[in-house]
């Protein structure tokens, strides 16, 4: 498959996969400035870049957390809009029922008025037993019809009031979700703008050193993770291939390699991290929650040692990032703004845990 070919091609650059060496066409560039600039100056420049790297990474992390809040508010917004629409329909049905009952009650009242109402004297002065019993039966039916009408009118009025109150409450919730979404959007944009301003101040050569520094830190994190008790089993385990739904999800995710990260995006041309995993598993016929935080909260958790291709690896203490495990210590994920969907080491970021969609 095309996706499989993409995985193989991307594997050359994967961070720290067991049994994979870091092949490169030439010498690996040193992220530190040239020694010709002087030892002290080189150290200062490296420390400055490291500080910038940490600050930029933190800004993007906070933006991703806000993106989760934005996506969650969007989900709630859709649910509340649907709920309001359903309540509005019920409210309209209750109003129509109330109008119908009022019309029927009016017709009953007019009929009783025209007939002079119920006359007990006439009932007892009936000329024959049959006539007397017929009048009694008619009177009872009239009273029962009136009672039923009053009961239905009371119930319809209660439904109308309940639906009206519920619709008002849902609309207030809807407005609150809209405000939360706008606040999250504002926070995302502020974080991204600040990060971009920091990066824009760097010269091209510094930007490249910053990129290499990011890769080096990710590689070191992956190496530490692979040697940890949680993940060291990977190095002695044979390749585990995906099948069924997991294989279809991986094929979809890896087919998106090279597409830009855009916060809040669910494809088909751009993705954020949970938008990618959402659509990948949707392509496999499985519905999963929209955000990485809800994926962590709702999906079954599995131990890292039991991790298999297709599982979702959740990152950071606030569960604000997610990638799909594809085997051999690697994930495919949408990293952050300014980056593209790619394959990297599963331990290149702080792992919170693993969940299994199916």
Q: Comparing 36-40, 148-152, 349-353, which segment has the lowest mean pLDDT?
A: 36-40
Domains of the chain: 2-18+221-355 (3.90.1720.10), 72-192 (1.10.287)
- 140 pLDDT band, cuts 50/70/90, is low
Most confident of 22-31, 120-129, 175-184, 312-321: 312-321
284-329, pLDDT tens digit by residue?
999 999 999 999 999 999 998 889 999 999 999 989 999 999 988 8
Question: Could you tell me how far CA 69 lies from the centroid of its own chain?
Answer: 9
Nearby residues of 132 by Cβ (< 8 Å), 6 or more positions away: 123, 124, 126
Buried b (16+ CB within 10 A) or exposed e, 79-91: ebeebbeebeebb
- Please give the residue that has the higher pLDDT: either 237 or 177: 177
pLDDT band of residue 114 (cuts 50, 70, 90) is low
Average pLDDT, whole number, for the chain? Answer: 75
What's residue 3's pLDDT?
Answer: 42
Per the confidence metrics, is the pTM higher than 0.85? no
pLDDT higher for 132 or 54?
Answer: 54
| pLDDT band, very low/low/confident/very high, at 204 (cuts 50, 70, 90) | confident
Inter-axis angle of helices 244-255 and 2-10, nearest 10: 70
Active site residues: 273, 321, 333
CA atoms within a 13 Å half-sphere pointing along the CA-CB vector of 29: 14
**Edge-to-edge order in the sheet of strand 312-315:** 301-302, 351-355, 312-315, 321-327, 330-333, 342-345
Confidence category of residue 112, pLDDT binned at 50, 70, 90: low
Say yes or no to pLDDT of 123 above 70.
Answer: no
What does DSSP say about strands 321-327 and 342-345: parallel, antiparallel, or unpaired?
unpaired
26 pLDDT tier (thresholds 50, 70, 90): very low
How far is 90 from 97, CA to CA, in rounded Å?
Answer: 10
Pick from 118-122, 249-253, 296-300: least confident? 118-122
């Amino acid at each position: 498959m095309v996706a499989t070919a993409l995985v193989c091609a991307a594997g050359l650059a994967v961070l720290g996969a067991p049994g994979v060496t870091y092949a490169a066409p030439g010498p690996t560039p040193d992220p530190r400035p040239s020694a010709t600039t002087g030892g002290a100056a080189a150290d200062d420049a490296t420390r400055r870049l490291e500080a910038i790297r940490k600050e930029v990474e933190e800004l993007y992390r906070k933006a991703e957390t806000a993106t989760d809040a934005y996506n969650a508010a969007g989900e709630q917004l859709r649910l509340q809009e649907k709920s309001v629409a359903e309540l509005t329909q019920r409210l309209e049905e209750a109003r129509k029922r109330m109008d119908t009952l009022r019309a029927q009650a009016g017709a009953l009242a007019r009929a009783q008025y025209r007939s002079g109402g119920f006359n007990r004297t006439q009932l007892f002065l009936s000329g024959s037993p049959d006539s007397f019993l017929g009048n009694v039966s008619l009177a009872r039916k009239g009273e029962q019809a009136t009672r039923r009408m009053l009961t239905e009118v009371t119930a319809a009025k209660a439904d109308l009031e309940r639906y009206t109150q519920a619709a008002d409450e849902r609309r207030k919730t809807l407005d609150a979700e809209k405000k939360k979404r706008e606040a999250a959007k504002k926070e995302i944009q502020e974080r991204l703008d600040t990060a971009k301003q920091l990066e824009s101040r760097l010269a091209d050569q510094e930007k490249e050193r910053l990129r290499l520094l990011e890769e080096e830190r990710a590689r070191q994190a992956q190496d530490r993770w692979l040697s940890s008790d949680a993940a060291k089993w990977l190095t002695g385990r044979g390749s585990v291939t995906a099948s069924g739904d997991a294989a279809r999800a991986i094929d979809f995710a890896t087919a998106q390699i090279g597409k830009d990260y855009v916060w809040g995006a669910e494809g088909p041309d751009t993705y954020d991290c949970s938008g990618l995993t959402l659509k990948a598993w949707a392509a496999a016929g499985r519905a999963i929650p929209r955000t990485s935080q809800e994926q962590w909260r709702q999906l079954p958790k599995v131990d890292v040692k039991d991790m298999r291709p297709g599982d979702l690896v959740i990152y950071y203490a606030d569960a604000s990032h997610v990638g799909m495990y594809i085997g051999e210590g690697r994930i495919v994920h949408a990293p952050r703004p300014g980056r593209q969907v790619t394959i990297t080491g599963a331990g290149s970021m702080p792992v919170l845990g693993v969940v299994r969609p199916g």
